[in-house]
Amino acid sequence: MRIMKPPPFSSSSSSVFRKARLSPYLFTLLAFILFVAVLYGEDLMCIFGQQLQLSPNSDPLVIRTGKKREKLPFAIGKSEEGCDIFSGRWVWDESNRPLYEESECPYIQPQLTCQEHGRPDKDYQKWRWQPHGCDLPSFNATLMLETLRGKRMMFVGDSLNRGQYVSMICLLHSLIPEDAKSMETFDSDSRTVFTAKEYNATIEFYWAPFLLESNSDNAVVHRISERLVRKGSITKHGKHWKGVDVLVFNTYLWWMTGLKFKILQGSFDDEVKDIVEVPTTEAYRMAMKTMLRWVRRNMNPKKTRVFFTSMSPSHGKSVDWGGESGGNCYNQTTPIEDPNYWGSDSRKNIMEVIGDVFGKSRVPITFLNITQLSSYRKDAHTAIYKKQWNPLTPEQLANPVSYADCVHWCLPGLQDTWNELLFAKLFYP
């Protein structure tokens, strides 16, 4: 097809433009438009960049802006048609699991090194997630590092997100020479930075268990009985997230203190604090809306990718999966086989909040739905096989169930699968 070219810009036409004069009204209108563009340019870019989201029939690797089709950042291929990578089953795969050895990754925290702390079996390391009707792309550490060259990747949230962060480092670090990598902490231990020097890349973790400002923001001393979150206050933490190229949020566990949650209306510096108590689901909804608003205002969807990891389940009551009364994740060595298993806690209510808030938003965040697939893994928790910060009493030692950690996960293990899912959505959206 021949493309018609516009006629050349002649000298006669230029003389006509020189003679033209702008009316005072037109000049005022143009000046006003320019002022608005400068003042709200970032928000306008986000809004127009999000107007046309991915439709079921569109190429999943592009976003449409007007007539232009632009590839999503970091995407290199297509996912299989109709494949839901979060729906599947766990299969035994002794030949390909684990993806690394615990002893070979020096970055795993002592709270997650189950073998070092005496766990007698390794079966929890041998399970692979198999989506129904399709396959997960293999985690390619070389591709991930090359893609992160000159960039920043950051995990923001609580200790469960820190576990996923450490898992990512364990999946990558063996490709980097010993003298070309480092791990440092900043901002009173709130920010941990792993640097791959030859790639000029960083993978970071930022402690913000509520995402919003709270009385639990100290990365070391945060075990506070009465938790308090300041309404809408994401700027305190958010200033540390600007400029990040791949951002992975999570927040859930710290909200689960009961049916009600306390919200600070003013400032933590106020002498008399204005505190209101609201249903926990509504407090969580407020946090989700605040996070989405921050992403819309601060992240450019043409250059960055933002993820949100759903709730990490706990396994504190074995009766939930048909076990004996009084038990928990301690001594569990196999996954739950019931495909409909969900658990008995409040995750469904929180999932409904997320579904509602995200469903109404046009902010481009990729949702990593790890909740259901992780619910099957009662065998993968650290249980008693971790560093204990306080000496155990004789009563506890006599009853291991009483001090088993059924919240956090052994590494290597389940959280490596979370990163395989992140990899799939990053490169094959």
User: Residues with catalytic annotation?
Assistant: 159, 405, 408
Residue 52: partners with Cβ closer than 8 Å, 6 or more residues away: 63, 64, 65
Measured CA angle at 18 (ends 17, 23), to 5 deg:
80
Rg over alpha carbons for the chain, rounded to the nearest Å, is: 25
User: Beta 228-230 vs 260-264: how paired, if at all?
Assistant: parallel
- Alpha-carbon gap, residue 115 to 111, rounded angstroms: 11
Tokens, residue 272: 């008399």
DSSP state of 255: G
- Pairing type for strands 201-207 and 191-196 reads antiparallel
Q: Is the peptide bond before 301 cis (omega within 30 degrees of 0)?
A: no
Task: Pinpoint the alpha helices (H) of 243-387.
Answer: 280-298, 347-360, 371-375
Which helix (H) or strand (E) element contains residue 88? strand 88-92
Tokens 């009385």 correspond to: 215
CB-based contact 90:376 (threshold 8 Å): yes
Q: Please give the single-letter amino acid code of residue 239.
A: K
Q: Which two tokens stand for residue 101?
A: 């050895």
Strand runs labelled E in 303-427? 305-309, 365-368, 381-383, 405-409
Element at 92 (helix H, strand E): strand 88-92
Strand partners, 331: none
SS (H, E, C) 3-28: CCCCCCCCHHHHHHHHHCCCCHHHHH
Side-chain-side CA neighbours of 14 within 13 Å: the count stands at: 5
Cα angle value 194/196/198 (rounded, 5°): 160
Eight-class DSSP state of 197: G
CA atoms lying within 13 Å on the CB side of residue 174: 12
Backbone φ, ψ for residue 171 (5° rounding): -70, -20
